[in-house]
Structure 1
């Protein structure tokens, strides 16, 4: 591992890199979590439980493709040098996938096409982030990486919040009232009955990404080409092979990859299925889910920013441990809440309504946003502690592999568990099948926490020695 060299990019170069998170966050906020995913489950799929199952398969396939290819491409990129060409290539795939979600009409007959473009969007957007993350250690000294990562994640959440307000306030309208969250008619003549405002989240995400990713390409410095293109693939594969042989003996690095594999997948699954769960179990509308999303993004921005401060003071491992613990408890709170229960305790009789479950779910969303933001930001800096700069893209490739190896297992586990409990053999209602279907998420958080103590956190050690 190499200590920070004290090198620093220009101010606009650093802001250009940070704006990548701003550009990409609407994909996670609008598509994966709060608008398109619950719309897909509620209106495109035959029913909410089947929608949760199909969404798990689509996002799982996208994650599987990343898991199989990211370490190889990361090693090749390290052998070549520049990361921006890779970001361009995968951004194009992600933008196309998002744009095509417009054609996911209610009750769509061609479900295979919809699922394909969901998987393509996941594949392209997530892969672009792998190579953008790898640029981080070249921008500021190591001592400032925690704050840089936290600030970037916070900026990303702010972008997600603003994009969500735009979509819910101006575009996505209730099919019953025809009005948006702000009580307005949808702009651009979007038809509420055909859910055009929800579907427009796909093209809107694509346009937002293209506009705001440009400063990174224009101003953020890239590493120089290290070698000619000839033999680049063989050199990258050879380097990856050497790393994989060494990896079990690098206890901290290996333990981090294993730990993050589980806790990041748990977080991704929690994000992916939170909106679907609220729609199916609590009966929330897209507008209610959107308010939940606005709250989670607001607290996520604060959590990521404050997590960056804690990272710089106590080290990233401390931040990861606290955040993962909070998220596991939040997940337990979520699955214990229905329209009549909180913590498995009945608060309203069948057929009656109570505002308590909604309030509890909003509070859980706020905590999930704050803890999730700090967890993701601290994980980037904790990875940088494990490798030197010459291996950083490969490391983020393996980081993507370690996450995506269970990013497809997590959604698949939720999909299989939901389908399993929804089968006629058990006789569970669709609501109960959804609740039982998301329980694997808690187990993933616990496994990640068990492995975390074996991970070395350099900043924490340095601060204790000081």
Structure 2
């Protein structure tokens, strides 16, 4: 088979971000997450639970489900990364986890409110989430192979993330224009939901699962056509045994590489905080501000557009000054916007009362969404590039497995803290306060990170 050109490989790699982004945009944050919370809270209210407690409990269920999926990813990520490094085979793993992504998202169609099961909804969502996260680990490890000049990797990473955001925006816009009914029974484009989907059964919302699955299957084609592995001659049995030994040696050696260790710790906290924002943003807006799914979708478009623009800009800044200044700036911005979010409710902004019916709380939350999209996207793109500077060049997939481990070792922490705080306080608003502390911890640990890492290049 002919080898694709370097440009073709880069664009094929970009298409993974384009294909996979709707799981975050449509399912995790802006459509299915709020639908899950609204459906669960409505069922709890119907069973006699007070409204505020029901909304907090729904947020808690969502948090515990994500925490369990995060633990699964944390345990397996570095092991599979080490195996991929020693075997040279990444594509078979990406095919397998792509299947999980497709299956998990497709199955969300069967979550009608009439016979809604919290357990099965979280199970299938978790299967898809695990597929998306592991596929991302293996595709991220291709980044250092895309250009011989390390200085260009920040630009490539930022452009890829921006391209993914554009895909997320387009998928969300299609969802709102063609499928999701507003209060009038029509979509935002003034159409009846496509395929005669009945809003009474929430079919117009549940279609987000199959839409995400089909989108991923179609747009992964360019990636699979251009990605190439460099397999070794080691037998599978030897690969597994050697991989576990290599992983153990890497973990034992982390204290000898303090910059890498500090970076893994820092990113562990700030990425967990950011994921908490993404995961609970739509749920928070639905429960605290009483937004509709359509309003949350518009919020998502704004966040994704700002994310696409600022990822592209941040990639150029990263190329000029390196990823560290971008990471620090974005962490500060996100910590401040987390404080803003906690202070917003229908009756107050920054804990200052506003007039009844004031639009200021909604406007403030839209502004927060734009900042989250901009700073969050730039933070993830530059963090991905920073990992290429911190890691051993010979063990890149294993390193991204550790990167995933650092992101998932406490990935249960933000959802679990939010779930616990929501249950203990009975308040969605107070439930998200742990996010602020996680950003601060991440910033503190960055003080021990060297911009170019411990490994000579």
TM-score (norm 1): 0.92
Partner residue of 1:243 out of 239, 250, 254: 250
Name the residue aligned to 2:50: none
* Structure 1: distance between partners of 2:121 and 2:283: 17
Residue 380 in 1 paired to residue 384 in 2? yes
* Structure 2: distance between partners of 1:288 and 1:387: 42
* Structure 1: distance between partners of 2:229 and 2:335: 38
Name the residue aligned to 1:419: 423
* Structure 2: distance between partners of 1:235 and 1:317: 34
1:443 is displaced (CA, Å) by: 0.6
CA contact (8 A) 2:71 2:409 kept: yes
Q: How does 1:305-384 map to 2 (within 5 A)?
A: 305-348=312-355, 352-384=356-388
CA contact (8 A) 1:81 1:227 kept: no
* Structure 2: distance between partners of 1:44 and 1:342: 28
CA contact (8 A) 1:83 1:135 kept: no
1:109 is displaced (CA, Å) by: 4.3
Residue 143 in 1 paired to residue 137 in 2? no
Partner residue of 2:167 out of 136, 145, 159: 159
Deviation readout 1:8-61 (Å, 9 max, x if unpaired): 952111100111000000000000000000011012443432221111111111
What CA RMSD, in Å, does the superposition of the two structures yield over aligned residues? 1.4
Name the residue aligned to 1:410: 414
Q: How does 1:252-271 map to 2 (within 5 A)?
A: 252-271=259-278
Q: How does 1:190-269 map to 2 (within 5 A)?
A: 190-225=197-232, 227-269=234-276
1:370 is displaced (CA, Å) by: 0.4
* Structure 2: distance between partners of 1:162 and 1:371: 20
Closer/same/farther in 2, CA of residues 338 and 154 from structure 1, 3 Å limit: same
Residue 298 in 1 paired to residue 305 in 2? yes
Name the residue aligned to 2:404: 400
Q: How does 1:33-112 map to 2 (within 5 A)?
A: 33-45=29-41, 46=44, 47-106=54-113, 108-112=115-119
CA contact (8 A) 2:337 2:372 kept: yes
TM-score (norm 2): 0.94
Partner residue of 1:438 out of 419, 432, 441: 432
CA contact (8 A) 1:44 1:104 kept: no
CA contact (8 A) 1:418 1:434 kept: yes
Closer/same/farther in 2, CA of residues 152 and 226 from structure 1, 3 Å limit: farther
CA contact (8 A) 1:79 1:226 kept: no
Name the residue aligned to 1:457: 451
* Structure 2: distance between partners of 1:158 and 1:335: 28
1:210 is displaced (CA, Å) by: 0.8
Deviation readout 1:69-93 (Å, 9 max, x if unpaired): 1111111111111211111111111
Closer/same/farther in 2, CA of residues 44 and 108 from structure 1, 3 Å limit: farther
Aligned residues between the structures: 439
1:182 is displaced (CA, Å) by: 1.9
Residue 391 in 1 paired to residue 395 in 2? yes
Partner residue of 2:138 out of 131, 135, 140: 131
CA contact (8 A) 2:158 2:378 kept: yes
Deviation readout 1:230-266 (Å, 9 max, x if unpaired): 3110010000010011001210000000000000010
1:169 is displaced (CA, Å) by: 1.0
* Structure 2: distance between partners of 1:121 and 1:50: 23
Residue 282 in 1 paired to residue 273 in 2? no
- SS, match of residue 180 in structure 1: coil
Range with greater deviation from structure 2 (36-45 or 219-228): 219-228
Range with greater deviation from structure 2 (368-377 or 42-51): 42-51
- SS, match of residue 225 in structure 1: coil
1:161 is displaced (CA, Å) by: 0.2
* Structure 2: distance between partners of 1:111 and 1:280: 18
Name the residue aligned to 2:8: 12
CA contact (8 A) 2:114 2:201 kept: no
* Structure 1: distance between partners of 2:331 and 2:114: 37
